C-alpha cells in the first residue's frame, strides 16, 4: 500500500494513494471510525484499516500533504557515510571532524530531532544569521513496524513497516563546530519527510534509484544497492543493544553530490527548491525560505 497523511478541511486523515500520486482514498478502522494517525495504524497493524465506504475519494490538489508520521515517537536514527563516494567527498570537504578512515568499518549512527520534521511542500527555514552552510541529503528511510531487540539480519525485514523519503538537511558549519552532529541536523524544519510511505510488502529496497535536484539541476544520482551497510545490517546493529519500536525512523544515509562535496561548496540559498525522488516511493519537494 502507498499511504499518505493529509489535511482536508481542517481534518487530518490517513489514506491510500495511487502510483501516479493523483488520488487519495481515506482509510477507516473496521468499525467505520476514520483513521487520522499513521502511528496508530503502524502500532495496530495495517489489517485494521479498510478503505472508507462513507467518505469520498480526494485528489492530491485538494489536500495539504503532511509528514506521513506527523509526530515521530522519538528522534530519527540516522546513518552517516553509508555510500562510498559520499564518504570520500565528505572526508575531503573539510567539514568532517572524524580522524578515522573515510569509509567506516562499522555503521556511523547518530540522531536527528523529531521536532525538525516537516511535510512535502513546507519550507525549510533558512537559518539567517546562524549558518551559511545549509546542505541537503537525499535518503531512503525505513519505518519500523514491529518492536524488537537483538534482531538478526535474517529477521530484519519482518520488523519493517515500510519506506519513505527523508531530506537530512544539515548546517555543515554547526555539524563541524559542535563535534557531535545532532545540533547541526536538528534545526526546526531540517527534516522534510514523505509524502508517501510505501508498505514493506510492496517494495524491495535493495536496488532503488535515488536522485536529488536543486532548482532542477541533478546533484545526487545513485542507487540503494551501493549502501555500504544494507538495511538488515543496520537493523541488526542498531537493535543489538537498543529496542526498536513501532514508528522508529531509520534514515539510511546519503549518496555523493551534497553541496559540501563541491569545490567550492554549493550550499542552499533562500528561494532554492530541493526535490528528491526514490524509485517506487515518490517525490519529496521543499523550498528554502
Are 153 and 229 spatial neighbours (Cβ–Cβ below 8 Å)? Answer: no
Q: Does 75 bind Mg ion (CB under 5 A)?
A: no
Tell me how far apart the 2 most distant CA atoms of the chain are, in Å: 60
In the shown chain, the binding pattern of residues 97 to 136 toward Mg ion, with x for contact by CB under 5 A and - for none, equals: ----------------------------------------
Residue 254 engages Mg ion in binding (rule: CB under 5 A): yes
CA distance 97 to 103: 14
The size of the interface with Mg ion (CB under 5 A), counted in residues, is: 3
Site string for Mg ion, 174-213 (x = CB under 5 A): ----------------------------------------
Smaller CB distance to Mg ion: residue 137 or 236?
Answer: 137
137 forms part of the interface with Mg ion (CB under 5 A): yes
**Rounded Cα distance, 3 and 25, in Å:** 9
CB 168, min distance to Mg ion, A: 3
Burial of 201 (0-12, 13-18, 19+ CB in 10 A): exposed
Q: How far is the CB of 284 from Mg ion (least distance, A)?
A: 14
Give dist(CA 113, CA 168) in Å, integer: 11
**Hey, which residues between 149 and 168 contact Mg ion (CB under 5 A)?**
168
Rounded to the nearest 10°, the torsion over CA 166, 84, 273, 9 is -10
For position 89 contacting Mg ion by CB under 5 A, the verdict is no
The H or E element spanning position 124 is strand 123-124
Residues of this chain that interact with Mg ion (CB under 5 A) are: 137, 168, 254
Amino acid at each position: 500500500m502507498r499511504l499518505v497523511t493529509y489535511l482536508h478541511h481542517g481534518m487530518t486523515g490517513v489514506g491510500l494513494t495511487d502510483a501516479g500520486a493523483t488520488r487519495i482514498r481515506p482509510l477507516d478502522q473496521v468499525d467505520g471510525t476514520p483513521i487520522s494517525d499513521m502511528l496508530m495504524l503502524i502500532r495496530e497493524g495495517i489489517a485494521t484499516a479498510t478503505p472508507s465506504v462513507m467518505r469520498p475519494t480526494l485528489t492530491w490538489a485538494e489536500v495539504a500533504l503532511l509528514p506521513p508520521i506527523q509526530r515521530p515517537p522519538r528522534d530519527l536514527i540516522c546513518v552517516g557515510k553509508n555510500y562510498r563516494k559520499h564518504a570520500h567527498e565528505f572526508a575531503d570537504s573539510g567539514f568532517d571532524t572524524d580522524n578515522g578512515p573515510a569509509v567506516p568499518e562499522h555503521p556511523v549512527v547518530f540522531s536527528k530531532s523529531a521536532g525538525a520534521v516537516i511535510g512535502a511542500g513546507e519550507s525549510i527555514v533558512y537559518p539567517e544569521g546562524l549558518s551559511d552552510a545549509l546542505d541537503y541529503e537525499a535518503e531512503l528511510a525505513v519505518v519500523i513496524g514491529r518492536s524488537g531487540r537483538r534482531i538478526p539480519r535474517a529477521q530484519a525485514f519482518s520488523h519493517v513497516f515500510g519506506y519513505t523519503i527523508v531530506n537530512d538537511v544539515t548546517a555543515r558549519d554547526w555539524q563541524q563546530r559542535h563535534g557531535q552532529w545532532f545540533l547541526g541536523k536538528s534545526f526546526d524544519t531540517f527534516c522534510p519527510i514523505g509524502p508517501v510511505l510505501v508498505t514493506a510488502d510492496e517494495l524491495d529496497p535493495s536496488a532503488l534509484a535515488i536522485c536529488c535536484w536543486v532548482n532542477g539541476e541533478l546533484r545526487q544520482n545513485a542507487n540503494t544497492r551501493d549502501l555500504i551497510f544494507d538495511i538488515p545490517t543496520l537493523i541488526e546493529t542498531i537493535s543489538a543493544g537498543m529496542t526498536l519500536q513501532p514508528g522508529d525512523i531509520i534514515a539510511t544515509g546519503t549518496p555523493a553530490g551534497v553541496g559540501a562535496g563541491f569545490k567550492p561548496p554549493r550550499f542552499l540559498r533562500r528561494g532554492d527548491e530541493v526535490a528528491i525522488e526514490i524509485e517506487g516511493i515518490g517525490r519529496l519537494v521543499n523550498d528554502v525560505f
